[in-house]
Every structure is written in C-alpha cells, then in structure tokens.
C-alpha cells in the first residue's frame, strides 16, 4: 500500500511540473512598451522562470545570471528564498523614446504573510527592444576572521524517567504586563502593550487577550502571534500587539490579558545592533505615510536567515500608542549592515514622541 501511495504522489508531482512547464512555454513576452516589458518580466519571475526573466535584462546592467538569481530569488536561506511573487502593480513615472522609469509595487507570498516591495526600474530601448536595467544589491563578502564568543547561555535539565515520584521540573519564569492600551483602527480593535520577564531564567512568552462585551460575556479571543519577541531573556522587555478583526471598541466593556510562559533554553547570541534609526516621510507612498528606517548589524559570527524588526512607538507621556513590525527579506551575514524599513500611518506618526526597535531572528540550523 505504501508503494502505491508513493507512486500516486510521484505522478501528482510529475503532473504539476508539467503544468508549470506548459504555463511557462505559453507565456508571451511583450516588449512593445516599457510598462508591458516590466509586466512580462515579472510574469517570468512569478512563474519562477528566472532564465526567461534574465533574458529581458539589458546588457547594460552588467550582471551575470547567478548574481541576478540571488538578488531576485534570495540567498543564504533568507525570507525571499521561501517566497513566491503573487501580485504586481506598475506605474509609468517618466517615459521618452529611448528610456522610461517604471515603479513596480510587488506583493510576495511568504510563510509569514504578505511581503510588500516597491522597485523603481529603468527600462531602456536596446536596438528596438525594451529591456529592464536591473540594479542588483551589492553582494557583501565576509572576510575570514575570528569572532570571540562571550555571550550568556541557559540550558535546561528536565526530570528524567527514573527520577523519584513527585520530582518537579524547573518552574516557568515569571512575566508581567507592564503596560496595555486598547485602540481602534480600520474597524479593528487592537491591544498594544509591553511585557517583561521578571525572572532570572529565559522564557517563551505568548500574550493572550479576551474581549469582554457590554453584557459581561466573552466576545473574542486572540493571541500576539508574531507581534512580540517570544523568547525573552531575564529582565528583557518586549512589545506585543493583538488584533481583533471587525470589532468596535464601543462594544467592548473590558479586556482580559493572560501572558503564558514556557521555560526554554536560550542564549544572548547572536547580538543584532540597530544603527542610524530615523523616522521620515516615505517618498514612494502616496498616502503620506512615514517610515522608520535604519540598519541592522549582525555582531556575531553566524548567519541570521530571517530578521524580524519590531518597533514600539510612545507618546510624550510614555504610553505605547502603536506597535508595528517588518520582516527583512535578506539574510544578516556577520558584521554586514543591511537596511530595514517599518511603515507608520501618518496620523500615528504625528503623535510619536519616541520609539524603540527590537529584533527577532530566525536561524535555519537552530531548532
């Protein structure tokens, strides 16, 4: 029976590969206008036909297929390597007979949700055919070096099967909610705040919330999911955000907050520094949104595959007024700065007095 199942799955795989190949072979390449060229280019990317997309890149770009593939498809186990292009919207910014500037707003489908990216592309006329002038991000090469490791680390020894009856495991760490604020935005109730690990051991923390209605009965229950630094070292503080879709704050009588903790092994490495933080207007955003920009620097000697930036915003009284996050689609190589950006709605930006940036990290070779 197991062999029959294997044959069935193999047949399904062959069919899917054939469908994708047929779809790619039927795909037309339109270079009649600069905008059509950009759309055809990203159609190739969407179909994972990077060879076909590379054929539409101008020779003036001066990059080989390997550099192009790593730039658009990701490398080093970054988030982009686990992403698929889902949607493309294009807009002509400027056009002449020989070149054009096209803005492409891309939506990538990833394991952590949608990833937005905006690229301003120059399209040039090469011997009667429009081609994309692709500027790849500079590939940093980490030089051979020795990086001292002196970070703190916590291991856990649990009770064994042969221990005396009644022997207890180590208790879960004590955590406390230090602030909480309920707001309504775009028809959703959002609970914002901060949680601190008050113990001397690390813990995996999740914040759960229940909305209590005017009648005293529970309305909805949600958790912080990825809008939190789940692994908290001793005395470490993390923001949290819990979203309740399609809910009005006027219907809520109270909020019940319940942080749960689990004792986990952890270490203070890798250390990720945040440099050159600044809040500024987003020139590419038509809604007048602001954006928090900066650079992340991996100060350890190991690669961080997926960095996750959490930004906490405070008003002039020190109250948390917003929590936002953004995943960085490039891996953090040792000692190599990469930029990050977290979008902020303009009506929140005008109330911000200060902010704090923390960084989660996900590494493939760690369980």
Q: Rounded distance, CA 125 to CA 34, Å?
A: 8
Q: Which whole number is the average pLDDT over 325-354?
A: 93
The whole-number pLDDT of residue 27 equals 57
With beta carbons less than 8 A apart as the criterion, state whether 30 and 72 touch.
no
Taking 50 as the threshold, does the pLDDT of residue 16 lie above it?
no
pLDDT in tens, 64-76: 999 999 999 999 9
pLDDT in tens, 129-178: 999 999 998 887 888 888 888 888 999 887 666 655 555 577 889 999 99
83: its two tokens: 């992403």
Q: Rounded distance, CA 323 to CA 305, Å?
A: 23
Domain(s) labelled CATH 2.60.40.1620 in the chain stretch across: 272-362
- For residue 94, count other CB atoms closer than 10 A to its CB: 10
The overall average pLDDT reported for the chain is 88
28-37, 78-87, 112-121: which range is least confident on average? 28-37
Paired strand residues for 262: 204
State in words which class domain 23-133 has: alpha beta
Eight-state DSSP code of residue 317: T
> Dihedral through CA 242, CA 232, CA 313, CA 247, nearest 10?
0
Eight-state DSSP code of residue 363: -
C-alpha 4: how far from chain center: 40
Q: Is the CATH number 3.40.47.10 carried by domain 153-158+166-267?
A: no
15-29, 80-94, 103-117, 271-285: which range is least confident on average? 15-29
pTM: 0.83
Strands laid side by side in the 272-281 sheet = 272-281, 290-298, 338-344
The whole-number pLDDT of residue 17 equals 45
The whole-number pLDDT of residue 149 equals 83
167-171, 183-187, 196-200, 313-317: which range is least confident on average? 167-171
> Dihedral through CA 11, CA 14, CA 15, CA 19, nearest 10?
170
Domain(s) labelled CATH 2.60.40.10 in the chain stretch across: 153-158+166-267
CA distances from 161 to 130, 164, 171, 209, 264 (A): 70, 9, 18, 36, 19
> End-to-end alpha-carbon separation of the chain, Å?
33
Q: Please provide the CATH number assigned to the domain covering 272-362.
A: 2.60.40.1620
CA distances from 239 to 177, 270, 347, 355, 363 (A): 10, 20, 20, 11, 21
Q: Give percent of the chain with pLDDT exceeding 90.
A: 74
Q: Which whole number is the average pLDDT over 279-287?
A: 78
Q: Rounded distance, CA 196 to CA 293, Å?
A: 26
169-173, 183-187, 203-207: which range is least confident on average? 169-173
112-116, 167-171, 208-212, 215-219: which range is least confident on average? 167-171
Q: Rounded distance, CA 169 to CA 153, Å?
A: 19
The whole-number pLDDT of residue 363 equals 84
266: its two tokens: 């952890």
């Amino acid at each position: 029976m197991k062999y029959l199942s294997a044959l069935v799955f193999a047949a399904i795989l062959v069919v899917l590969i054939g469908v994708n190949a047929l779809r790619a072979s039927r795909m037309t390449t339109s270079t009649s206008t600069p905008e059509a060229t950009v759309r055809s280019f990203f159609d190739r990317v969407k179909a994972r036909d990077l060879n076909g997309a590379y054929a539409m890149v101008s020779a003036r770009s001066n990059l080989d297929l390997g550099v192009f593939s790593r730039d658009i498809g990701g490398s080093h186990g970054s988030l982009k390597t686990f992403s698929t292009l889902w949607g493309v919207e294009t807009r002509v910014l400027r056009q002449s007979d020989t070149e054009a500037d096209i803005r492409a707003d891309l939506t990538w489908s990833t394991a952590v949700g949608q990833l937005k990216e905006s690229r301003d592309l120059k399209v040039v006329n090469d011997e009667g055919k429009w081609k994309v002038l692709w500027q790849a991000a500079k590939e940093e090469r980490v030089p051979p070096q020795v990086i001292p490791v002196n970070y703190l680390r916590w291991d856990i020894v649990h009770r064994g099967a042969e221990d005396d009856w009644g022997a207890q495991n180590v208790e879960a760490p004590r955590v406390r909610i230090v602030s909480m604020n309920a707001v309504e935005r775009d028809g959703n109730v959002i609970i914002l705040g901060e949680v601190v690990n008050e113990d001397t051991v690390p813990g995996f923390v999740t914040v759960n919330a229940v909305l209590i209605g005017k009648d005293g009965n529970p309305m909805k229950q949600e958790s912080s999911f990825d809008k939190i630094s789940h692994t908290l070292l001793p005395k470490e503080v993390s923001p949290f955000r819990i979203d309740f879709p399609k809910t009005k704050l006027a219907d809520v009588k109270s909020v019940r907050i319940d942080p749960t903790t689990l004792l986990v092994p952890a270490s203070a490495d890798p250390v990720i520094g945040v440099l050159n933080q600044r809040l500024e207007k987003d020139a590419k955003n038509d809604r007048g949104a602001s954006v928090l920009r900066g650079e992340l620097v991996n100060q350890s000697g190991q690669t961080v595959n997926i960095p996750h930036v959490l930004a906490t915003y405070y008003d002039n009284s020190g109250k948390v007024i917003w929590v936002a996050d953004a995943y960085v689609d490039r891996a953090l190589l040792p000692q190599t700065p990469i930029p990050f950006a977290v979008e902020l709605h303009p009506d929140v930006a005008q109330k911000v007095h200060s902010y704090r940036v923390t960084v989660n990290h996900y590494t493939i070779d760690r369980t």
